Chain A
Amino acid sequence: MGTLELDGVTKVFPDGDGEIVAVDDVDIEMRDGEFLVVVGPSGCGKSTTLRMVAGLETISSGEIRLAGKTINDVKPQHRDIAMVFQSYALYPHMTVRENMAFGLEESTDLSDDAIDERVTDAAGTMGISELLDRKPSDLSGGQRQRVALGRAIVRDPEVFLMDEPLSNLDAKLRSEMRTELQRLQDELDVTTMYVTHDQTEAMTMGDRIAILNAGELQQVATPLECYHEPANRFVAGFIGDPSMNFFDVRRDGETLVGDAFDYPLSASTLDDVGDVTDLTLGVRPEDVSLAGDATGEHTFSTVVDVVEPMGDENTVYLRFEDAPEGDTFIATVGGLQQVSAGDEITIEIPEETIHLFDGNSGEAVHNREIDE
């Protein structure tokens, strides 16, 4: 069925005399019916990866297999995939019905009646039945989005490819469509590859997330694994908002020595660290907690720099007492906690919440403990 495998997929674009590696040796395996979100910053190669699966870009090396068959040299029109574009790419001279029927007319031998039935069905699923005879120019952004999705689902393909389909919607509509898309994908149970730069979409929608940076695959895992057990510093920083705090530290015996603080480690953590001495200590803002007094070995005195009240919580920018001006890190505390700029407060960074990354390679050497 719709298993999709990317095996060492690489894309190299010529650039003048040199070349640019847009996608570098990416391996992803998708189960049938899986919803995989490919996420990464702009220019990380995520759209290029999707376009290679669609057949809109050639593959420089590696192999893409759909349902066990290599499709490297199969033309896009014969791949049995449906794609939703960021701009929707509805054909402006056709009505919604014609837009949705087009793919079936071109890719199947179905009779006109059968096509019409499937279009009507899909329009019902997407709640756009009353729009069928309108032209795309008469539709709102949200309605166009639904038509674009309807055009994909009516095809009943092996794989859905979605290229930032929600990014042209306003915030409220986007979160509505997010839920709806998830429900739809669950119902249809079609393998879906979804590209986005929005980590909220990645966290909430996907069965698994594939994180790309500079063309290289960083991690493929469930959203919670990516959040709690990031494979490297990039993933740790990319997933989560506000993002993880990082401190460059040096291991000195059993203690991590930073610019502004010392952080003693327990024996089990030291085991993970091994003989690496240059490290990056990472801690998520919500794991930085307020402490009563500075007596614990993981408590620190800090000065509040800025407070951003969000209602349910406050985002607090803190500075270690010894740290220079502007060198802040972030903690999120409860919305009812009274914290204001200039306060001196004591915080605790519990050892079970810290992540440690190799200072040179960025690989995770120790991740936080999770209560099973």
Chain B
Amino acid sequence: MTRNTDTGDDSGDAVTDGGVTEDPSGSGFSPIAALNDRFGSDFVESSQFWLPPFLLVGLFVYGAIIWNFLISLTDFSGFGNPNYGDLDLEMYTRALAESGFVDAAVNTFILLVGFTLVTLGLGLGLAILVDRNIRFENTFRTIYLLPMSLSFVVTAQFWAWMFNFNNGVINIVTSSLGLGRVDWLGNPDIVLWAVMFALMWQFAGYAMVVYLAGLRAIPNEHYEAAKVDGASTVRMYWRVIIPQLKGSTISASVVLMVFALKAFDFLYSLVGGYRPPNGADILATKMVREAYANLNWAYASAIAIALFLMTLGIVGPYLYYQYNRGNL
């Protein structure tokens, strides 16, 4: 457009077909040149390719988030249309005052931290074992990863059966060992941990694969150098190998935490409804229940915003970390 290279005229006062003159000395002001300077040399020229998807994503993702936030400021519930004329933070104060919301938030947090830590630990342990040149390595890897490939609807049903008070396989084992029956899903103090266990079973394989890739990237010489340096196997892993898995840990934990926040489908399938067992209610299930069972649209939107902020709190630092390492 304003570049005169294709005209072959480099006298500096080329007039393009649009009639826009560019002064190569830089004394004049051109918004296009300024944009190109700021965002890279072909920012404007390439916009026809990236701008349409950029706008579509902006509208349907970020626009929807903003709209959701607007709804959370209204009192919209039941049938009808929201009234945007009267915006306040009432839904947020109501949430903080409601014990159901606080419980769900606490449960979400426990699930988030507990599930992530235990899954990472288990995944790391499996990865180290599988990486030690064992026989049937591929078979083990597949077996550990297999639960990942199953739908949550399926695994939730499995676990619902296995946790069953009267004829679930877990209670049959515990009672035959003389430990008595445990009401895994009915006892509010236990149910969250039972759910966490089931999720951990499903996701440990994923953490293992991520860690295994990380382990494979560490040259053999590092193991050997550590051994020759006098480190025992445990010390070698602790001081030389595991610190080098920082990148794997960060990527795996972001995925696991984000999943823990939206573990809705697992809980929904576990009971086949919007109301998870007492003691296992998390923000995601409460949000859906408030919206579609109770038609408290504005309130559900406020919960959604709370969930969104938690996600942002997890992904934000990750993006910052990647940005600092020059990966963004």
Contact = CB atoms under 8 A, between A and B. Distances in A.
A89 B225 contact: yes
Nearest to B218: A92
A102 B244 contact: no
A93 B246 CA distance: 10
Contacts of B246: 93
A365 interface: no
Contacts of B222: 89, 91
Nearest to A80: B230
Contacts of B232: 77, 106
A81 interface: yes
Interface residues of B, number: 18
A77 B224 contact: no
A106 B235 contact: yes
Contact of A103 (B219, B221, B230, B243): B230
Interface in A59-88: 75-79, 81-83, 85, 87-88
B177 interface: no
A55 interface: yes
A107 B230 contact: yes
Interface string B226-249: 111111100100011001101000
Q: Tell me the dominant secondary structure on chain B's binding face.
A: helix
A56 B219 CA distance: 15
A321 to B, nearest CB: 55
B229 A103 contact: yes
A89 B230 contact: no
Given A77-B229, A106-B229, A89 B224 contact: yes
B231 A77 contact: yes
Contact of B224 (A85, A91, A106): A85
B225 A85 contact: yes
A108 B230 CA distance: 9
Nearest to B224: A56
A88 B222 CA distance: 9
A83 B224 contact: yes
B219 A87 contact: yes
Contact of A93 (B221, B225, B228, B244): B244
A324 B258 CA distance: 77
A79 B240 CA distance: 20
B324 to A, nearest CB: 15
A92 B219 CA distance: 11
A103 B221 CA distance: 15
A77 B227 contact: yes
Nearest to B228: A83
Nearest to B230: A107
A89 B236 CA distance: 14
B219 A89 contact: yes
Interface size on A, as a range, is 20 to 34
A83 B224 CA distance: 9
A364 interface: no
Nearest to A76: B227
A256 B322 CA distance: 75
A54 interface: yes
A106 B239 CA distance: 10
Nearest to B243: A93
B228 A81 contact: yes
Interface in A134-174: 151, 155, 161
B229 A107 contact: yes
Nearest to A84: B225
A102 B228 contact: no
Contacts of A87: 219, 221
Of residues B222, B229, B240, B246, which shows the largest number of chain A Cβ atoms within 10 Å of its Cβ?
Answer: B229
Contacts of B244: 91-93
A153 to B, nearest CB: 13
A103 B239 CA distance: 11
A135 to B, nearest CB: 12
A55 B227 contact: yes
Interface string A315-340: 00000000000000000000000000
Nearest to A91: B240
A102 B227 contact: no
Contact of A106 (B219, B221, B230, B243): B230
A76 B229 CA distance: 8
Contacts of B227: 55-56, 75-77
Nearest to B245: A93
Nearest to A163: B221
A192 B230 CA distance: 18
Contact of B228 (A76, A92, A108): A76
Given A85-B221, A89-B219, A89-B221, A54 B243 contact: no
A122 to B, nearest CB: 14
Of residues A54, A81, A87, A91, which shows the largest number of chain B Cβ atoms within 10 Å of its Cβ?
Answer: A91
Interface of B: 219, 221-222, 224-232, 235, 239-240, 243-244, 246
Given A54-B224, A76-B228, A82-B229, 4 more contacts: A55-B227, A85-B224, A89-B219, A107-B230
Interface of A: 54-56, 75-79, 81-83, 85, 87-89, 91-93, 102-103, 106-108, 151, 155, 161
12 contacts: A54-B224, A54-B228, A56-B224, A56-B227, A56-B228, A77-B230, A79-B228, A83-B228, A91-B225, A91-B244, A93-B246, A103-B228
The 8 closest A-B pairs by CB, nearest first: A107-B230, A89-B221, A103-B229, A89-B225, A106-B230, A106-B231, A76-B227, A77-B230
